[in-house]
Structure 1
Amino acid sequence: MQIRFTSSERASLGVEWELQLVDRETRQLTSGANEILAELTPEGAEEHPKAKHELLQSTIEIITGICGTVAEAKADLAGTLAEVVEAADRRGLGVLCAGTHPITDWQTQDISPKERYAQLVEKMQWLARRLQIFGVHVHVGVRSPDKIIPIVNALTQYVPHFLALSASSPYWVGADTGLASARSKVFEGMPTAGLPYQLSGWDGFEDYMETLISTHAIESVREVWWDIRPHPDFGTVELRICDGLPTLDEIGAVAAMSQCLVERFDREIDRGYTLPVPASWVLRENKWRAARYGLDAEIIVDDRGTVRPVREALTDLVDDLMPTAKRLDCAAELADVLRILEVGGSYQRQRAVAAAHDGRLEPVVDSLLAELRDGLPG
């Protein structure tokens, strides 16, 4: 089958942010998306242009338009966030983001009243019903389908960098999982989620999609939830690896990393370079290490098994990408990667709050509410 790739402006940017609605008294995830979105949707429109339903009624996803810079994307998100927070507050609800909710049991949650979600739950059953997880997705524009698969393949070597930096899901249904990112492991249970297959080109992607659709494994390309995937309709590479991020500062940091890496690979293709295709065993091991140890992970950096701390790899990556960031006007946001390394990742900050309150997790929810309001600590 042929899949049309709608080419995008080079290095254009879009961000999707999945937000949690919580009862301010109980701190539990609480349904409210239907009422909030109904209130915010302009008269005569079917839905809000930048605030959407997600699988659970306790979730609202906010999205940007097509942006040129990371600063523009952050401002776009901030505007929609303010609308959602105000409407939630009128209902006694707070808004936060993390890869998982620290205490709520997924079995208590209501599914959004949309046909596609009902079909997903019917098909996937327990795998779908337990998807009480939240992420941040970054889209970066690519001009040609000939470039998209080489860029996806090359980006996979940075899965541990993004996952370690964004890890924010140490807790699951009131228990410490021992992981930095439980979300990433929960999501891998879905049959078309996880690391992308290393395909040879766009024709290989089309063949793969044709096989899945013709055998009724999926109905559309939208149901392939790889950590990094092509998005033909938007003309982007979509990085879906990140846990939900509590602050706009952290969103800016991962968006800047994403935009700079895609821009660099795009330019290397133009110069005639062949982009790297990392060994699949290295990718699988590195993703596990980042999910387990977060910013304390030691990742494999070549096919010979050389290991180095992911903190060092991130610091060197920021230095390496800074000239590109200056061209793209996102140097300040890229530098926020170093701020995160200094103050600690979200999973570390959450555990520190729990430790300061005798292991109780309600204060962790309060800290996440405060971070979304006030920004990255320190």
Structure 2
Amino acid sequence: MFSWLHRGLRTWVMRDPQSSVSGARRSRGSGRVLDPPFWHTLARPARHPAARPYPRAMEFAPSARSTLGVEWELAVVDPATGEMVPRAEELLRAIGDRRFDHEFLTSMIELITGVHDTTDDAVDELRRMRDTAVEAAGRIGAALVGTGTHPTSQWRDQRQGDDPRYRRVIEKAGDWGRRLVIFGVHNHVGVEQRDKVVPLLRTMLDRLPLILALSASSPFWQGADTGYASHRTMLFQQLPTGGLPPMLEDWAEYERTLADMLRAGVIDDLAELRWDVRPSPTLGTLEVRIADGAPSIDDLAAVTALTHCLVEEASRALDAGHEPAHLPSWLVRENKLRSARDGLDATAIVDADGTLQPVRDALGDAVERLAPIAADLGATRSLAAVTRVVERGGSAALQRAAFARGGHRAVLDELLEQLRA
């Protein structure tokens, strides 16, 4: 949730920025640890905004085109009750692997892949990591659940980790910060040149509702049905810098926006910028963060493959000089709301004239259209999971069906089983 830049993909393996994704799989190049970003070199901001330093131009460390890294957040729970328990540190010690890390709450962990050339390789690593985490959890008498919000655990019972960043969340957001008992999937996609980042971000704004609808897995909150397929979305955008990013023109405007936010005291560092999709300058990636937590490997594969292929599709369009026309900001917000509320049953507005398309149809069209790109990205197997999720129904619908059969106990049992499957 809050790992980007501070932990994230700790060492992004840098490769030839000019490499292409078409044809055979790319070979790996040498890795290096990136220099700290410019805002980490700034003195701690003074209390008065006028005293805040104005940062110099931001560096962007290019990555090889459409390389991929994934972060997957999971809840640590009692296997008997399914309720969250503050045993993340104990579990991390039992795992003993730095690819697993603590997160905002003492009852959640994060799985962080290395950098991959293909979607399927990234998903395979996460499958192995899932197995490791499940086995270690069993040894200490715990279990794991993947979902956008925990269906029943109370936010007042959760504790934040002992980290200054987490304390700042509470200082700035108050109870909205304390209510963030939420979990997501974040995909980092490599970008080979700085000037493509903002155009890619603009294009992905129009695609975010598809990713959100596919991933929506948080219908329940504090034991109640919220009426949303993704209540996580509604919670997270309450943060001062959460939700959709502004409509940026180019990298220079992005730099000016961040500089103004730093100088005005809106953020203290870039890690506090929690947009649904955002650049990661030190990693050389575009980070897509809108997806709810994934209950299963199949759900994870679907959202990761769709995201990976959509970013590469947008990158190819830019290379051909065909950046698509963008939806107005009000329409992007409306489509996000529709996906958060209705999940796979949403109907999206596809243009300013009000043309409508069911999200299920849009996802079917996307899978067909993206098939050649998936072949180049090694994503064919994972992209097929999109069709399976659409056909069986998304996690929000499955959780509601489980509740109808046996209440919250049935929901928790199903989530426990899906994570292990």
The two structures have a TM-score, normalised by structure 2, of 0.85
Residue 218 (structure 1) aligned with residue 267 (structure 2): yes
Residue 356 (structure 1) aligned with residue 411 (structure 2): no
**Bigger shift: residues 311-320 or 274-283:** 274-283
- SS of equivalent to 1:60: strand
Query: CA offset at residue 96 of structure 1?
Result: 1.2
Contact between 2:120 and 2:381, CA under 8 Å: does it hold in 1? Answer: no
> What's 2:114 paired with?
65
Query: CA offset at residue 370 of structure 1?
Result: 0.4
Count of residues in correspondence between the two structures: 366
Residue 122 (structure 1) aligned with residue 177 (structure 2): no
Q: Give, in whole Å, the separation in 2 of the partners of 1:277 and 1:219.
A: 31
**Bigger shift: residues 303-312 or 121-130:** 121-130
**Bigger shift: residues 51-60 or 245-254:** 245-254
Residue 366 (structure 1) aligned with residue 413 (structure 2): yes
Query: CA offset at residue 130 of structure 1?
Result: 0.7
Aligned partner of 2:303 among 254, 279, 285: 254
Structure 2, unmatched stretches of 5+, are 1-55
> What's 2:34 paired with?
none
Residue 102 (structure 1) aligned with residue 183 (structure 2): no
Task: Write out per-residue CA displacement over residues 150-178 of structure 1, whole angstroms, 9 at most, x where no aligned residue.
Answer: 00000111111111110000000000011
> What's 2:201 paired with?
152
Q: Give, in whole Å, the separation in 2 of the partners of 1:2 and 1:277.
A: 27
RMSD between aligned residues: 1.2
Query: CA offset at residue 234 of structure 1?
Result: 1.0
> What's 1:87 paired with?
136
Q: Give, in whole Å, the separation in 1 of the partners of 2:113 and 2:366.
A: 26
Q: Give, in whole Å, the separation in 2 of the partners of 1:365 and 1:9.
A: 40
- SS of equivalent to 1:305: coil
Q: Give, in whole Å, the separation in 2 of the partners of 1:179 and 1:117.
A: 27
Query: CA offset at residue 275 of structure 1?
Result: 3.5
> What's 1:241 paired with?
290
Contact between 2:82 and 2:416, CA under 8 Å: does it hold in 1? Answer: no
- SS of equivalent to 1:200: coil
> What's 1:209 paired with?
258
Q: Give, in whole Å, the separation in 1 of the partners of 2:353 and 2:338.
A: 17
- SS of equivalent to 1:214: helix
Any residues of structure 2 matched to 1:40-79 within 5 Å, and which?
40-41=95-96, 48-79=97-128
> What's 1:44 paired with?
none
Query: CA offset at residue 98 of structure 1?
Result: 0.3
- SS of equivalent to 1:19: strand
Of all paired residues, the percent bearing the same amino acid is 43
Q: Give, in whole Å, the separation in 2 of the partners of 1:90 and 1:364.
A: 24
> What's 2:87 paired with?
32
Aligned partner of 2:392 among 314, 335, 343: 343
- SS of equivalent to 1:361: helix
> What's 1:266 paired with?
315
Residue 10 (structure 1) aligned with residue 65 (structure 2): yes
Query: CA offset at residue 82 of structure 1?
Result: 2.3
Aligned partner of 1:19 among 59, 74, 93: 74
> What's 1:231 paired with?
280
Q: Give, in whole Å, the separation in 2 of the partners of 1:237 and 1:325.
A: 18
Q: Give, in whole Å, the separation in 2 of the partners of 1:255 and 1:304.
A: 31
The two structures have a TM-score, normalised by structure 1, of 0.94
Query: CA offset at residue 366 of structure 1?
Result: 0.9
Aligned partner of 1:143 among 152, 169, 192: 192
